[in-house]
Amino acid sequence: MSDTLIGLVSQYSPSGQERGAVEWLVARMKSLGYDGAFIDDAGNAVGVMGKGTRQVVLLGHIDTVPGEIDVTLTPPSPLAPLPEGEGNLYGRGAVDAKGPLASFVDAVAKVGARDGWQFVVIGAVEEERNSEGARFVATQYTPDFAIIGEPNQWDRMALGYKGSAWANVTIKRGQAHSASGEETAAEAAVGLWLKIKAYVDSFNENKQKVFDKLLLTLRGMESDSNDFEQWARLKVGVRLPVEVSPEDWYQILNETLIPKGENQVSETFRVLIERTGFAIPAWGCEKNTQLVRSLLSGIRSQGGEPRFVYKTGTADLNIVAPLWKCPAVVYGPGDSSLDHTPNEHIDLGEYGRAVDVLSHALQKLTSRAAS
């Protein structure tokens, strides 16, 4: 059962260098009996099982962060909660997120074609950068159900991921003598950061759950000057709750830092707010759906006690769910605390259980939803 996982992890594929892994996965899906497997126009690996009119999309990502790790198998720990005998697979992407993607591939192969249904498994590119693969498929499919592949352990499913927004806040002011006592651009930048932080602290004051809070970070600070002007720049990032959209956040920044929303504070002092990167809204999944109930049943079928989690990061869920507007959930084996680490590895026993959970859930889902 782990051949798909081992083979996929053996294909080193940091963002921007996924082609070899994509070609390998397409060939693997063909060998497993998929009705079709191909590389789409965005470079994603796509496998299709069944020809029905109703559709389940299982979207994982095939890219990883940089940093190649030797692919090795080791014996299981005697303290491991799962049965011994299969061991651990080390390698970049074993957890994030080739483990979940490979489990999708194997589960669909195990279930096979279902009358009236079509399973579409996608290994998306560029998730670790700007989610170009997911942005493409978001406009290509209109599934009835969607499962997004991220590691949350075999007996848990994630129902929400926070959004994110990034901005450069630049302060410019006229040059002044160092003995004048006037506030420097760098000092003003510190003051503006404290204003942002004060707003966030006030917003979070009565929020009990991390998922509901604004999570603020200062990612960088720099300053310089020339003969006539001095400037300082803050690189500000925030993880957003569902109730605060990226547009809301940028408005908050403007109202907090720039009186009356004007960039020109005075003739000699200016504040400029520049949006950077892709802003992503948070997304929370509906809990009471046939999809969730099917996965709950799948976890219980393997002796697990299902749990729900809400994550502070972002995922391709945030990209596709607002467009697909169908029941969705995030599932996949692996310990997310190992994401991006030099020690990244997955328990093969856990991987096998996840495949069985998914195959049970897909059979139940397509039987229930059809009835």
Cα 139 from Cα 320, distance rounded (Å): 8
**pLDDT averaged over consecutive 10-residue blocks of the chain (371 residues)?**
93 98 98 98 98 97 97 74 69 97 98 97 96 97 98 97 97 72 86 96 96 97 86 96 97 87 58 93 96 98 97 95 97 96 95 97 84 49
Catalytic residue among 18, 63, 126, 347: 63
> Of the candidates 292, 330, 313, 279, which has an alpha carbon nearest to the alpha carbon of residue 210?
313
CATH topology for 163-279? Answer: Alpha-Beta Plaits (3.30.70)
Residues of the chain with CATH 3.30.70.360: 163-279
Measured over the CA atoms of residue 343, residue 345, residue 347 and residue 353, the dihedral's sign is positive
Look at the chain and count its residues: 371
Cα 287 from Cα 263, distance rounded (Å): 43
Cα 293 from Cα 152, distance rounded (Å): 17
Cα 241 from Cα 77, distance rounded (Å): 38
CATH annotation of 3-161+282-368: 3.40.630.10
Flag whether the pTM goes above 0.85. Answer: yes
63 carries an active-site annotation: yes
**Cα-to-chain-centroid distance, residue 119:** 21
Q: pLDDT value at position 173? A: 86
347 carries an active-site annotation: no
- CA distances 231 to 171, 177, 192, Å, are 5, 15, 13
Q: pLDDT value at position 37? A: 98
Phi and psi for 94 in degrees, rounded to 5? -55, -35
Q: pLDDT value at position 258? A: 86
Catalytic residue among 18, 86, 96, 127: 127
Residues of the chain with CATH 3.40.630.10: 3-161+282-368
Within 13 A of 68's CA, how many CA atoms are on the CB side? 7
